[in-house]
Amino acid sequence: MSANRRPIALATAVATAAALGAAALALPALAAENAPAAAPGAPTLELKDGTLDWGFKESFRKYLASPFAHGKITTGDGAVQAPDNGVFTFTGGTGSYDTGTHATATAFKGSVHFTAHEGVLDIKMSDLKLTTKGSAAPTGEITADVVTKKGDGTYDSRQDIPVAALDMTGVRPGQGSGGAMVFKDIPAKLTKGGAEAFAGYYKEGDQLDAATLTVKAATPSSPKPSTTPSTPAPSPTKPTQNPTTQPTKPAPSTSSPSGTTPGKVVAGKLTWGVKESWRRYVDDTCGGSISAAGGAVKNGEVYDFAFGSARLDSVARTANAAFDGKVRFECAAHTIDWTIADVKVRASGAKGTLLADVTTSKGTSNDVEFADLDLSGADYAAKDGVVTFKNVAAKLTKDGAAQFAGPNGEPFYQPGTAIDPVTVALSLDPDAELPTTSGGTSGGSTSGGGTSGGSASGGSTTGGGTVGGSAGGSVGGGGALATTGSEVPAGALLAASGAIAAAGAGVVVAVRRRAAAQG
């Protein structure tokens, strides 16, 4: 996780959503400050298994329990109270997170009935909902259906009364059991409507108990593994048993730095950052982490993948190389767990293809033709014993873009989207020194490329990933990606990247209204 990560604001839109969207109240949208707005047409994510822990006002509960009030608190319909006159837990929370506006809303089951003074005080709250909306100062609210006994003995029933105003500014998501997102201790104050609903016992602006929101992203309806996993490529270290095109030629002496004839590659590395906006979204906006393992190491803002095996023919201008290591992107707030590993490069003349194994919530897809490479400026001749393809422009293929798809197949990146350029260094001389390289940022024009040449394969490394129980593909199922940067996922992270930072406007989820509480 970046040390200088921007502060993450839990936008009032239900972070649940953002966390799956992120944050409090109906999971307020988790947004990074000053992030760009989300792309239009972004999907809506479902939230489930939500709970709202809220005691309304501790001093009120204590008053009802005093000998003077002779009060009583009764919970029902799915709500429970903690021991020792503790807070209430409202259960069965369901709702949605709009990845375009970052608005969230969650509705809960349960009711609380307050009585005292031999029935003179009689107030019942039910059908609680938590919604959020975001800006530089994200906010939210808790609404409820409130039934109050009036002085004449009749009852006044009002629905969806804003009872509490929430301040999401300092709220950050945590992780609960089972992958749940927890937005703890959200500050709350009594609203004007709440003061009226409680018959003026308290005034508008009075401090209420802090609220804690817990929610999970709904699991995709029918996750399926990749339909047509690629056939593993033959090992690059051995010639095919029945070559039909170019027979493998003996490698020249490895001490020869010329590299003008087919040669045995003895060392190398691939430097690549996958996609800058994706890294920024997971690490900065979402508050997640990126880790490298299995031969991959962090190199500045990008990653070096260790050499696995390779073949190079500088005369025929072909190269096939496989690299070890994996990079894992995780964000509990948006249920993102996405891993890319076993990266390979197939090059022929001016075109090339980057392949990789990608693990998402739908399973692991092997040898995905992830990106087209533009090698029009590549030099296949060795210099000082090393062939270097530097900052090769790359664009997502159709299959590569699909790895960043949401739970219902909604795209976060389109085919042809520029990703981080790739630098490949292959050494023909064991004594040669590999150049110091660093990857560039996303962008640059690339020509769509085909694949050619023999195939290369390395040991397949998979990280257990899901990009969200619903943030899908790369963003599994639970949380949409917010757009962060110039091209952010249109949808997730689990949220159009940086937009989560902007936390969108609050949207109230349509929820079946329970029958008005009876007095």
432 to each of 258, 303, 389, how far by Cα in Å? Answer: 12, 21, 16
Q: What pLDDT shows up at residue 252?
A: 44
Confidence of residue 356 (pLDDT cuts 50, 70, 90): very high
What does the pLDDT average to over 212-232?
61
Of 304-313, 428-437, 473-482, minimum mean pLDDT range = 473-482
Tokens of 189: 């104050």
Tokens of 204: 């508008």
Candidate ranges 7-11, 235-239, 294-298; pick with highest mean pLDDT: 294-298
* Tens-place pLDDT, residues 238-277: 444 444 445 444 444 433 444 344 568 999 999 999 999 8
Closest Cα to residue 30, out of 49, 46, 6?
6
Confidence of residue 497 (pLDDT cuts 50, 70, 90): very low
Q: What pLDDT shows up at residue 496?
A: 32
R_g of the chain, CA atoms, integer Å:
28
Give the predicted TM-score (pTM) of the model: 0.42
With a cut of 70, say whether residue 485 has pLDDT above it: no
* Dihedral sign, Cα of residue 367, residue 369, residue 370, residue 371: positive
Confidence of residue 10 (pLDDT cuts 50, 70, 90): very low
Q: What pLDDT shows up at residue 439?
A: 52
Contact 92, 50 (CB under 8 A): yes
Q: What pLDDT shows up at residue 23?
A: 36
Q: What does the H/E/C string look like for 166-226?
A: EECCCCCEEECHHHCEEEEEEEEEECHHHHHHCCCCCCCCCEEEEEEEEEEECCCCCCCCC
* Tens-place pLDDT, residues 375-389: 999 999 999 999 999
d(CA 108, CA 90): 6
Contact 301, 292 (CB under 8 A): no
Q: What pLDDT shows up at residue 495?
A: 35
- 3-class SS of residue 494: coil
Q: For residues 215 and 29, which has the higher predicted lDDT (pLDDT)?
A: 215
Q: What pLDDT shows up at residue 465?
A: 36
Q: What pLDDT shows up at residue 518?
A: 36
d(CA 70, CA 53): 25
Tokens of 387: 């062939």
Confidence of residue 138 (pLDDT cuts 50, 70, 90): confident
Tokens of 108: 């809960």
Q: What is the dihedral of CA 495, 497, 502, 508, to 10 degrees?
A: -10
d(CA 277, CA 265): 33
Confidence of residue 139 (pLDDT cuts 50, 70, 90): confident
Confidence of residue 407 (pLDDT cuts 50, 70, 90): low
Of 141-155, 297-311, 505-519, minimum mean pLDDT range = 505-519
Residues 6+ apart with CB under 8 A from 448: 372, 395, 416
d(CA 197, CA 193): 6
d(CA 104, CA 20): 10
Closest Cα to residue 52, out of 167, 168, 124, 131?
131
Of 38-52, 204-218, 325-339, 492-506, minimum mean pLDDT range = 492-506
Confidence of residue 415 (pLDDT cuts 50, 70, 90): very high
With a cut of 60, say whether residue 143 has pLDDT above it: yes
For the chain, give percent helix, strand, coil, nearest 5.
10, 40, 50
Confidence of residue 338 (pLDDT cuts 50, 70, 90): very high
Q: For residues 408 and 492, which has the higher predicted lDDT (pLDDT)?
A: 408
Q: For residues 164 and 21, which has the higher predicted lDDT (pLDDT)?
A: 164
- 3-class SS of residue 331: strand
Give the whole-number percent of the chain exceeding pLDDT 70.
64
d(CA 351, CA 355): 13
* Tens-place pLDDT, residues 85-128: 999 999 999 998 776 666 678 999 999 999 999 888 999 999 99
With a cut of 80, say whether residue 307 has pLDDT above it: yes
* Tens-place pLDDT, residues 35-89: 444 445 556 778 889 999 999 999 999 999 998 888 999 999 999 999 999 999 9
With a cut of 50, say whether residue 445 has pLDDT above it: no
Q: For residues 398 and 455, which has the higher predicted lDDT (pLDDT)?
A: 398
Q: What is the mean pLDDT of the chain?
A: 73
* Dihedral sign, Cα of residue 508, residue 510, residue 511, residue 512: positive
With a cut of 60, say whether residue 129 has pLDDT above it: yes
Q: For residues 260 and 321, which has the higher predicted lDDT (pLDDT)?
A: 321
d(CA 20, CA 46): 9
Strand partners, 126: 111, 145
For residue 415, give the amino acid letter: P
Q: What pLDDT shows up at residue 431?
A: 86
With a cut of 90, say whether residue 349 has pLDDT above it: yes
Q: For residues 488 and 305, which has the higher predicted lDDT (pLDDT)?
A: 305
